[in-house]
Amino acid sequence: MRVPKALKKGDTIGLIGASSPTPPENLPKAIEAIEKLGFNVVVGETCRERHGYLAGKDELRAREVNEMFGNPDIDGIFCIRGGYGADRILPLLDLELIKANPKVFAGYSDVTALHIVFNQLCDLVTFHSPMPSTEFIKEGMDEYTWNSFLSHMMDTESNNYFLENAEGSEMNTLVPGEAIGQLVGGNLTLVVASLGTPYEIDTKGKILFLEDIDEYERSIDRMLTQLKLAGKLDDAAGFLLGAWTNCGPQNPEKPEQSLSLQTIFEELLVPAGKPILSDITCGHCLPTLTLPLGKTLSINTETKTIKVIG
């Protein structure tokens, strides 16, 4: 895997919109938040564009990704927000150019589509992280989240360290055991959307991280079932389960008509017999952990530890 060069204060960040448009009032706040970290900012055209529910047409969003990777004056690339649309630009990306110009690439949610491609087809370590027009500008952005983000951005090559939950948040064991594998995954909806495409996620021997937001429990059931039927759960070495924000029953007043997420995990993930840690503080939540996708992890679900080893 290609590990991108660490960022340092004074470096230039390319800010892009690969998915949904950025609310105009959030852009100056996002720029200010990045500058307060000590970075310079080059604002992509997509941060100001709107094409319906997209941050500009597919050709523009893809071209901007390619240009940011190809521009030697850009040291790192932050996706300003998620939403929808990153998977539409995948066929338009210059993967050879991206592979030849490894840079810090950060974001999450809809950005999962890009993470999968960059990890698998460009051999590039990328970062599942909070984003400038969402978490960066929230009043609830906390020290744990900032520290996790900055430590990964500014020290990309370190290994032999632990990924730990925020204080007061305990990981839980669904299946005991140990596993070693490359970290892959992200948002469950985007992981499932990759199936049957040239960009399908490879989970063989990997540690699969999953999270999601605003999905009914039966939707989580359906997507995990699809991963199961596609062989992706049996292929994985282990699982890390993050936040499932606003993922609940369609009719909360009639819980007997639904299944809890815990029950769904026990019925669909546990039978695979792979080590599973749940309640990782990562996803559509604050505090949130930054994850180095593409790096190799060692997980021990009995001691509830996650270690980056390579």
Above 90 in pLDDT, residue 106? Answer: yes
User: Which pLDDT tens digit goes with each residue over 259-309?
Assistant: 999 999 999 999 999 999 999 999 999 999 999 999 999 999 999 999 999
Fold adopted by 12-153: Rossmann fold (3.40.50)
Q: Enter the pTM of the model.
A: 0.97
Report, as an integer, the average pLDDT of 204-215. Answer: 98
Above 90 in pLDDT, residue 254? Answer: no
Above 90 in pLDDT, residue 256? Answer: no
Query: HEC states along the chain?
Result: CECCCCCCCCCEEEEECCCCCCCHHHHHHHHHHHHHCCCEEEECHHHCCCECCECCCHHHHHHHHHHHHHCCCCCEEEECCCCCCHHHHHHHCCHHHHHHCCCEEEECHHHHHHHHHHHHHCCECEEECCCCCCHHHCCCCCHHHHHHHHHHHCCCCCCCEECCCCCCCCCEEEECCEEEEEEEEEEHHHHHHCCCCCCCCCCCCCEEEEEEECCCHHHHHHHHHHHHHCCHHHHCCEEEEEEEECCCCCCCCCHHHCCCHHHHHHHHCHHHCCCEEECCCCCCCCCCCCEEECCEEEEECCCCEEEECC
Could you tell me whether strands 178-187 and 296-300 are parallel, antiparallel, or unpaired per DSSP bridges? Answer: antiparallel
Angle subtended by helix axes 217-229 and 261-268, to nearest 10 = 10
Boundaries of every domain in the chain: 12-153, 161-308
Selected catalytic residue, list 64, 135, 211, 215: 211
Report, as an integer, the average pLDDT of 25-29. Answer: 98
User: Which pLDDT tens digit goes with each residue over 58-73?
Assistant: 999 999 999 999 999 9
Buried b (16+ CB within 10 A) or exposed e, 191-229: bbbbeeeebebebeebbbbbbbbebebeebbebbeebee
Selected catalytic residue, list 19, 20, 109, 278: 109
Could you tell me whether strands 126-128 and 104-107 are parallel, antiparallel, or unpaired per DSSP bridges? Answer: parallel
Could you tell me whether strands 238-245 and 207-213 are parallel, antiparallel, or unpaired per DSSP bridges? Answer: parallel
User: Which pLDDT tens digit goes with each residue over 267-277?
Assistant: 999 999 999 99
Q: Please say if 109 is a catalytic residue.
A: yes
- In single-letter form, the type of residue at position 310 comes to G
∠ CA 213-289-132 to the nearest 5 degrees?
A: 75
Structure confidence at residue 252 (pLDDT): 84
Report, as an integer, the average pLDDT of 182-211. Answer: 98
Selected catalytic residue, list 19, 215, 284, 298: 284
User: Which pLDDT tens digit goes with each residue over 117-141?
Assistant: 999 999 999 999 999 999 999 988 9
Sorting pLDDT into bands at 50, 70 and 90, what band is 156? very high
Fold adopted by 161-308: Glucose Oxidase; domain 1 (3.50.30)
Structure confidence at residue 234 (pLDDT): 98
Structure confidence at residue 257 (pLDDT): 85
Q: Please say if 51 is a catalytic residue.
A: no
